[in-house]
Amino acid sequence: MEQRCCTRRFKAFILLMLAGIALTNCGQRKPAGVAQDVTVADTVNFDVFKDEINRIIANSPRELEIINFVNEMGSSYIFDLTLPLTEAEKFETQNEIALAWGAYTADLVYANTYNRYDIVPYVSDILNQLSQRLGVQDQFPKTVRLLERMSANENKSDSLSYYLNQVLTTSRQELESGEIPEVYALFSIGAGVESLYLLSQLTSYAKENQKMLAYLSERRDLGKSIFRLTEILASDETVKPYYEKIDRLNKYFESHPDFGEKELSEITFLIMEVRSQILSL
């Protein structure tokens, strides 16, 4: 009798041990082909936040909406404002690449909206390279194929515009239904910060900027979305360094319902700080 009890206890112990291993492995989804090992996916399983992440992003202003607005206001295209293409090589971890991927997507929308087809293929090529290096490109195969086509269409403006619209739609659909919510969140943070940066900079340059000031003030909704996504990811050690700055940016938006020139100067500085932090500029 005693031997059978010991045997049952031993079997129960083994089952518990195997269950623990399974739960641990569930949160360790390492991407293939990424140089660094320190990633969101290595430390926390964010699958439980997938629906919330998707909901936040679905209700956030898109980069295309923001860039279309500044174009309608008559703002000029300024290439020097965008993330330098030469910076792409320095992004190595999954976090860094996902944030940069989002930022370069906003820059691609910016160039395309202003019909800068001398620049669009180069930015799309950078995005294609980053998507390959992200290590989880199997989660968005249609997006990868579209980016490859954009890179190969240097002088066909109609095709480039078509493919860009497809990329914007397809990438979000694939990321929303995929198994990498943390990457989707980081992508959206990068795109949101870059969009706010372009908007604030172009508002600063504009001579008649009252409408742009009002619109920038209204983008507190995007500031809130960026903060909420960062808050979800903040348990990861690699996200903590820029959580505080994004929190400060969000609080500034919340505490200033109307923007004048003083607020424009202050919010522009805060946005630049966040951008520099997340993209290591």
| pLDDT tens sequence across 224-266 | 999 999 999 998 888 888 999 999 999 999 999 999 999 999 9
> Phi and psi for 179 in degrees, rounded to 5?
-115, 25
Shared-domain flag, residues 194 and 269: yes
Helix then strand then coil, in percent of the chain rounded to 5, is 75, 0, 25
Parts of the chain with a pLDDT under 70:
1-44, 153-157
Supply the pLDDT for residue 201: 98
Contact 77, 111 (CB under 8 A): yes
Shared-domain flag, residues 144 and 126: yes
> CA-CA distance, 104 to 85, in Å (whole number)?
9
Shared-domain flag, residues 8 and 81: no
Shared-domain flag, residues 4 and 122: no
Supply the pLDDT for residue 16: 35
The torsion region of residue 215 among left (phi > 0), alpha (psi -120 to 50) and beta comes to: alpha
Supply the pLDDT for residue 219: 97
> CA-CA distance, 75 to 213, in Å (whole number)?
13
Supply the pLDDT for residue 154: 60
Supply the pLDDT for residue 73: 96
Shared-domain flag, residues 82 and 14: no
> Phi and psi for 78 in degrees, rounded to 5?
-125, 100
Shared-domain flag, residues 199 and 248: yes
Which one, of 93, 140, 114, lies nearest residue 198 by Cα?
Answer: 114
Domain that holds residue 14: 1-30
Distances (CA, A) of 98 to 75, 125, 208, 210, 272: 28, 15, 35, 34, 19
* Owner of token pair 């903040």: 234
Supply the pLDDT for residue 111: 95
Domain count, the chain: 2
Shared-domain flag, residues 24 and 122: no
Shared-domain flag, residues 94 and 119: yes
Shared-domain flag, residues 94 and 210: yes
Supply the pLDDT for residue 156: 66
Contact 249, 223 (CB under 8 A): yes
Both tokens assigned to 274: 């966040």
The torsion region of residue 33 among left (phi > 0), alpha (psi -120 to 50) and beta comes to: left
> CA-CA distance, 22 to 115, in Å (whole number)?
51
DSSP for residue 234: T
Angle between helix 94-113 and 157-177 (nearest 10): 140
Shared-domain flag, residues 102 and 173: yes
Supply the pLDDT for residue 44: 63
Which amino acid, residue 137? Q
Alpha carbon 178 to its chain centroid, in Å, reads: 15
Shared-domain flag, residues 131 and 16: no
